[in-house]
């Protein structure tokens, strides 16, 4: 999820009652809900290095405990000199850990995923339930925070005393609606996967199936199916007049070749492939040698307008790497 959603989640948790832990619980929750994305500092060493460490230890179970302690220390040092409180460190730690845990859970629900058990297990876990920038999630969290404030202003205008628990009720309503959204999306995702996996594609049996959410319509999913030689992209509609499957694109996997294997074992290639779930490799001949493009088709629809999330590796004729990088590119053949 993007930063706004994480910040709104931290504020919602605070208003739901976590702000009662200590006067500094709200800023601790806001900071901790955003803190895992501090791994963006790795872009200083290049985008391949950033991808290698992104959603690594800062998005792991071990990382949440470590970051919670590191974040709690300055808050605790500042607060104990001004407002001594019993179990202050523990309360601040709990608030910080709660914000960090919310960040991991939200990222788990989308198609990007997290590595919960890094560094012991580098496996990515992604539910594919929610869109990366989900307007429904943003709307629910925004209303949960803004609606009570709006009702309070209206009450003050007409001379009626607003209930003191309005903000807390609004926050809990947002949490319940967010959980309800996940309860809805989970079975719909499973239904889309089942439909996609129950048919043949060009006479080939699916090896892997992925279903990714549309940004607005919860009944529309974008499917990616891997066969032994192709990737098939389809649109799945689970309700309405257009219910059913609509094929969109099909891409053939590259034939085995030394340059393809060299791309897979390069730093950028191996890093990208450790993350990509449906990687499409394409080889271009250049005057200097070859350029191999890699794109994760799982993000095809999510990044379609921006044509991004590609990696390339340049080789000379002896298959030595000349350059490797992530880059925005409108690939020919990929609309």
pLDDT of residue 319 exceeding 80, the answer is yes
**How many other CB atoms are there within 10 angstroms of residue 247's CB atom?**
11
The reply to whether 234 and 295 lie within a common domain is no
**Domain-embedded: residue 209:** yes
**What are the distances in angstroms from CA 242 to CA 237, 248, 250, 295?**
7, 14, 21, 29
Determine the Cα–Cα distance for residues 159 and 305; give it in Å rounded to an integer. 50
Digit-coded pLDDT (tens) for 180-217: 999 999 999 999 999 999 989 988 899 999 999 998 99
Domain's final residue, options 226, 252, 278 = 252
**Domain-embedded: residue 59:** yes
The reply to whether 194 and 262 lie within a common domain is no
**Domain-embedded: residue 147:** no
The reply to whether 46 and 75 lie within a common domain is yes
Digit-coded pLDDT (tens) for 210-225: 999 998 999 999 999 9
pLDDT of residue 154 exceeding 80, the answer is no
Angle at which helices 88-109 and 3-15 cross, to 10°:
140
Token pair 């020919």: residue: 332
Digit-coded pLDDT (tens) for 91-104: 999 999 999 999 99
Instruction: Using the Cα atoms of residue 64, residue 69, residue 74 and residue 77 in order, give the sign of their dihedral.
Output: positive
The reply to whether 86 and 9 lie within a common domain is yes
- If you average pLDDT over every residue of the chain, what do you get? 86
CB 288 within 8 A of CB 295: no
Determine which of 34-38, 56-60, 139-143, 166-170 has the lowest per-residue pLDDT on average.
Answer: 166-170
The reply to whether 321 and 212 lie within a common domain is no
The reply to whether 229 and 269 lie within a common domain is no
The reply to whether 111 and 16 lie within a common domain is yes
**Domain-embedded: residue 289:** yes
- Sheet hosting strand 230-237, strand order edge to edge: 208-213, 220-226, 230-237, 244-252
User: With left for phi above 0 and alpha for psi between -120 and 50, is residue 203 left, alpha or beta?
Assistant: left
DSSP symbol at 266: S
Q: What pLDDT shows up at residue 335?
A: 40
CB 213 within 8 A of CB 189: yes
The reply to whether 7 and 87 lie within a common domain is yes
**Could you tell me the two tokens for 220?**
């529309």
The reply to whether 25 and 111 lie within a common domain is yes
The reply to whether 314 and 246 lie within a common domain is no
pLDDT of residue 147 exceeding 90, the answer is no
Under the banding of pLDDT at 50, 70 and 90, the label for residue 305 is very low
Q: What percent of the chain has pLDDT over 90?
A: 55
**Domain-embedded: residue 131:** no
Digit-coded pLDDT (tens) for 217-271: 999 999 999 999 999 999 999 987 778 888 878 899 998 899 999 999 999 899 8
**Domain-embedded: residue 204:** yes
Determine the Cα–Cα distance for residues 196 and 247; give it in Å rounded to an integer. 11
Under the banding of pLDDT at 50, 70 and 90, the label for residue 5 is very high
Q: Among residues 172, 177, 141, which one has the least CA distance to residue 33? A: 141
Domain's final residue, options 126, 152, 173 = 126
The reply to whether 280 and 247 lie within a common domain is no
DSSP string, 215-241: SS-TTEEEEEEE-SSEEEEEEEE-SST
CB 116 within 8 A of CB 201: no
**Domain-embedded: residue 214:** yes
Domain's final residue, options 126, 154, 170 = 126
Q: Among residues 24, 15, 29, which one has the least CA distance to residue 143? A: 15
**Domain-embedded: residue 178:** no
Residue 261 φ/ψ, nearest 5 degrees:
-65, -35
Q: What pLDDT shows up at residue 302?
A: 62
Angle at which helices 88-109 and 25-34 cross, to 10°:
30
| pTM across the whole model | 0.87
**Could you tell me the two tokens for 71?**
């974040």
The reply to whether 262 and 302 lie within a common domain is yes
Domain count, the chain: 3
Q: What percent of the chain has pLDDT over 70?
A: 89
Determine the Cα–Cα distance for residues 58 and 116; give it in Å rounded to an integer. 10
CB 108 within 8 A of CB 114: yes
44 or 156, which is more confident? 44
Which residue range forms the structural domain that includes residue 289? 258-327
pLDDT of residue 156 exceeding 60, the answer is no
């Amino acid at each position: 999820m993007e930063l706004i959603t994480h910040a709104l989640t931290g504020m919602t948790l605070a208003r739901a009652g976590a702000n009662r832990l200590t006067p500094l619980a709200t800023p601790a929750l806001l900071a901790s809900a955003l803190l895992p994305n501090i791994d963006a500092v790795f872009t200083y060493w290049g985008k391949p290095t950033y991808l290698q460490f992104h959603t690594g230890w800062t998005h792991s179970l071990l990382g949440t405990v470590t970051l919670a302690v590191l974040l709690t220390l300055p808050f605790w040092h500042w607060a104990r000199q001004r407002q001594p409180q019993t179990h202050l460190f523990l309360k601040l730690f709990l608030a910080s850990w709660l914000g960090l845990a919310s960040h991991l859970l939200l990222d788990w629900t989308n198609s990007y995923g997290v590595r919960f058990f890094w560094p012991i297990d580098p496996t990515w876990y992604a539910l594919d339930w929610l869109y990366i920038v989900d307007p429904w999630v943003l709307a629910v969290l925004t209303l949960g925070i803004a609606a009570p404030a709006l009702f309070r202003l209206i009450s003050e205008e007409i001379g009626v005393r607003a209930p003191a628990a309005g903000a807390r009720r609004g926050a809990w309503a947002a949490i319940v609606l967010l959980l309800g959204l996940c309860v809805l999306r989970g079975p719909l995702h499973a239904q889309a996967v089942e439909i996609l996996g129950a048919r043949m594609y060009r006479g080939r049996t699916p090896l892997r199936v992925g279903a990714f959410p549309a940004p607005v319509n919860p009944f529309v999913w974008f499917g990616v199916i891997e066969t032994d030689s192709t990737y098939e992209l389809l649109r799945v509609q689970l309700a309405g007049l257009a219910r059913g499957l609509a094929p969109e694109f099909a891409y053939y996997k590259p034939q085995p070749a030394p340059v393809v294997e060299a791309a897979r074992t390069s730093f950028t290639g191996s890093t990208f492939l450790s993350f990509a779930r449906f990687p499409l490799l394409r080889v271009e001949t250049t005057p200097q040698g070859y350029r191999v493009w890699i794109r994760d088709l799982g993000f095809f629809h999510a990044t379609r307008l921006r044509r991004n999330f590609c990696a390339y590796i340049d080789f000379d004729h002896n298959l030595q790497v000349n350059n490797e990088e992530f880059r925005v590119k409108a690939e020919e053949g990929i609309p």
